[in-house]
Amino acid sequence: MESIRDIKAAFDNITEGDYGLFIEKYSADERNGVKQLVKRAKNLSDKHEKEISRTEKMLSYEKEYSAYSAICGIDEVGRGPLAGPVVAGAVILPKDERILYLNDSKQLTASKRDELYDIIYERAVAVSIGIVDHERIDEINILQATYEAMRSAIMNLAVRPDILLNDAVTIPGVDIRQIPIIKGDAKSCSIAAASIVAKVTRDRMMEEMDSLYPGYGFASNKGYGSADHIKAIKELGPCPIHRRTFIKNFI
CA distances to 10, 108, 157 from 165, rounded to whole Å, are 42, 21, 15
220 close to 137: Cβ distance less than 8 angstroms = no
Q: What is the pLDDT of residue 16?
A: 84
Domains present along the chain, CATH in parentheses: 4-57 (no CATH), 61-198 (3.30.420.10)
CA distances to 2, 18, 22, 118 from 13, rounded to whole Å, are 16, 10, 10, 21
Q: What is residue 244's three-state secondary structure?
A: coil
- Report d(CA 37, CA 14) in Å as an integer: 12
Sign for the pseudo-dihedral over CA of 246, 248, 250, 251: positive
* Residue of 116, 93, 104 whose CA lies nearest to 195: 104
Q: What is the pLDDT of residues 32-51, one digit of tens each?
A: 999 999 999 999 999 999 99
Beta-bridge partner residues of 86: 132
Comparing 86 with 12, the larger pLDDT belongs to 86
Q: What is the pLDDT of residues 125-170, one digit of tens each?
A: 999 999 999 999 999 999 999 999 999 999 999 999 999 999 999 9
